[in-house]
Structure 1
């Protein structure tokens, strides 16, 4: 009798949770910094029963947001809520952030954002007065000086023939939109922005007609719920255009042959080039279609030189990292430090009863800080069986140094199957945690989140 193929993205702490929980006055070990007054919010896919079939992919499933309210040194509450917009399909699952006084959950590929109330109990689809009715991105970039939000959006649609570049002002009003022609529906998960330019990623992962056809016919194979695949025939390139520009102003350059989910940051250099730090994979969705488990990610610096028409690559560290974050006040400007979730060789978890072309998962690890000036790497290991994913940097009020602040991240304890919100000193992540907020349940491995200060949403 054939052994059933497991899906590791429905097991362990990848598995969804079934209910919504509210808990008050959470226990804290250590002392929460008095400057943390706001909410730590995190989201990810939490697939319901009908979304867990043979074709299931880690990136697909109804969104669930998890929130922890901190104020005056107390952890006032934890809540988790399914994301529900105005229609059943409106359930973004990839990122949650604040812009224009709103809390927004985001997804790429065609879904509009959903706006959340500060208590997470009411929600509504929000499309910026129709400007985002055809979808948005999970990774817009917000300029810390102007407050503008820049986004590169794509549709998972075989008839799509362009990306859409959208700019929203600091209030959330759309001020610019431009179609950028492309072929073959590339998967554009992130983008880069400098003080003057935008960088578009058109890399060798695109819509697979075969996977999309199987999905439409109701006969999906592993991972077909997200019908994007590595495409050996597709070139790897980046496009550079002025901020607020159009297709007429874009210039395309050949790029290293790889895939990039996430950009740490990018900035203009004095000689007119762009320095752009990315987390790159040799391939994704080629060998393992259910998640990004083909190869380990690496931090690289791409130097885009428009004068020479080149993109050069320097691998910055041999330490596997993902979920990159900076001090967001430096978005589009020169940075020194990055904070990451670390991954190692054990992250590609494959067992004897999981075929490599069907199984394999992407396992989190320690927290990592990288100094782009010296190349120094420091890590915080949370203990046996305890791992984290994406960090969030929060500047200390009145901070002068780039890393003067705190790192917040959710840690899963595999020994107890519970989670904590852990606060570290961003300048010295090797030190013992400043505080650990004990959550009433585990928070499944998801994708992205942010610290939302009270003054960002007026609550």
Structure 2
């Protein structure tokens, strides 16, 4: 294991949990990335860590320069294919049944790396996403079958770390923060991201149809790793995101994040002013919402969280939280006895339901005492009640990042 190993460095392992007819099955497999296959071939770790850019100790042309661990997000493209996203390259294409890695997938024309976050339009299934390298960014728009229909390049003033973005019906929303990717430092083996608080924050709104982008300065300094959602209302764009006072991906500490809390930012499209307020005083991350309100006005967000505003004893989080973005009301879910740490929650709408919070919240929890994991199914409306179902995994599921629900086709 590299000296400066970071949680972000773990090789991607996809877990597929199928639920139906009162039963559940679990399948998992490593993503066969080029970097992993090379390291398996030589029998030891070769690449550096997130904290030194992932550059191998020896750059002799015999291996990929940067390891793409394929460990961040998944999306079921169709009945037979799953895409696995990470920051370092195009996504990997996996067989949906066996989880075997087929190769890379470039949507019929992406150039360079693609970020791990994408947005699905609930009206038509279109997918939008982006990739960045230094100050150059490419925005992409693809149909639900994964084929590109438009791409728009643009530049930013600084090599800002942009892991996620938000989207409304008409705009893609980007955040340029003082968290910068330090390419020169990477070559020297230094941390890949530095914090430059003397820089200002800006939100960028890109017209999805034309590619035109306008930037709006924010009179506040903060870091954003993940957005909850965004929407348009009465000549304004409203943005919900998790904000931290700095970028806290630290090495040598149990907690790799700075404390982040949910904020709402509003851009007045006529005046260009940006205002913001903290929604709730809760340390939380991995925000999720009902996918039916993606890019539309929403009320609820679901988060991995702590109850005290600080990180918990065993891992980053010890509860889930349901937060009302309108009132700031917070409901907590603590799992069941023995389970200590939740991962990212995933909202699944109840069949034939209409209300935004009428559905289920799925989450994989870890038991620090037995070193095993369970998936719990929670009722989104009775959020603080006992779980509706427990799926015993029989082993530990390593703490990961993001997952998604895919409804099986009817027979």
Shared topology, TM-score over 0.5? Answer: yes
Q: Residue 5 of structure 1 aligns with which residue?
A: none
Work out whether 1:182 is the aligned partner of 2:156.
yes
CA contact (8 A) 1:90 1:114 kept: no
Q: Residue 172 of structure 1 aligns with which residue?
A: 146
CA-CA distance at 1:147 after TM superposition:
1.3
CA contact (8 A) 2:248 2:258 kept: no
1:313-342 CA-to-partner distances (Å, cap 9, x unmatched) read: 110000111111110010000011111111
Q: Residue 35 of structure 1 aligns with which residue?
A: none
CA-CA distance at 1:295 after TM superposition:
2.9
Give me the whole-angstrom Cα distance separating, in 1, the residues matched to 2:185 and 2:142: 34
Work out whether 1:415 is the aligned partner of 2:369.
yes
CA-CA distance at 1:54 after TM superposition:
2.0
Q: Residue 206 of structure 2 aligns with which residue?
A: 241
Is there any run of 5+ residues in structure 1 with no aligned partner, and where?
1-51, 350-360
Sort the Cα spacing of 1:384 and 1:274 in 2 relative to 1 into closer, same or farther, 3 A. same
CA contact (8 A) 2:315 2:341 kept: no
Q: Residue 231 of structure 2 aligns with which residue?
A: 267
Q: Residue 217 of structure 2 aligns with which residue?
A: 254
Give me the whole-angstrom Cα distance separating, in 2, the residues matched to 1:141 and 1:410: 22
CA-CA distance at 1:346 after TM superposition:
4.1
CA-CA distance at 1:369 after TM superposition:
0.6
Give me the whole-angstrom Cα distance separating, in 2, the residues matched to 1:385 and 1:127: 37
TM-score, L = length of structure 2: 0.85
CA-CA distance at 1:311 after TM superposition:
1.5
TM-score, L = length of structure 1: 0.77
- Aligned partner of residue 297 in structure 2, secondary structure: coil
Work out whether 1:71 is the aligned partner of 2:20.
yes
Bigger relative contact order, structure 1 or 2 (CA pairs below 8 A, ≥6 apart): 1
Matches of residues 105-254 of structure 1 in structure 2 within 5 Å? 105-108=84-87, 110-128=88-106, 130-155=108-133, 160-209=134-183, 211-215=185-189, 224=191, 227-246=192-211, 249-254=212-217
Give me the whole-angstrom Cα distance separating, in 2, the residues matched to 1:407 and 1:321: 16
Sort the Cα spacing of 1:290 and 1:414 in 2 relative to 1 into closer, same or farther, 3 A. closer
Matches of residues 397-416 of structure 1 in structure 2 within 5 Å? 397-416=351-370
CA-CA distance at 1:174 after TM superposition:
0.4
1:225-257 CA-to-partner distances (Å, cap 9, x unmatched) read: xx11212343311111211332xx211111231
CA-CA distance at 1:294 after TM superposition:
5.6
- Aligned partner of residue 441 in structure 1, secondary structure: coil
Aligned length, in residue pairs:
377
Give me the whole-angstrom Cα distance separating, in 2, the residues matched to 1:329 and 1:384: 33
Give me the whole-angstrom Cα distance separating, in 2, the residues matched to 1:190 and 1:411: 24
Give me the whole-angstrom Cα distance separating, in 2, the residues matched to 1:139 and 1:168: 14
Q: Residue 368 of structure 1 aligns with which residue?
A: 321
- Aligned partner of residue 59 in structure 1, secondary structure: helix
CA contact (8 A) 1:90 1:125 kept: no
Sort the Cα spacing of 1:286 and 1:82 in 2 relative to 1 into closer, same or farther, 3 A. closer
CA contact (8 A) 1:293 1:362 kept: no
Work out whether 1:83 is the aligned partner of 2:31.
yes
What is the RMSD computed on CA atoms of the aligned residues? Answer: 2.3
1:77-130 CA-to-partner distances (Å, cap 9, x unmatched) read: 22221101467455411011223553111012x311112212234222333354
Matches of residues 44-59 of structure 1 in structure 2 within 5 Å? 52-59=1-8
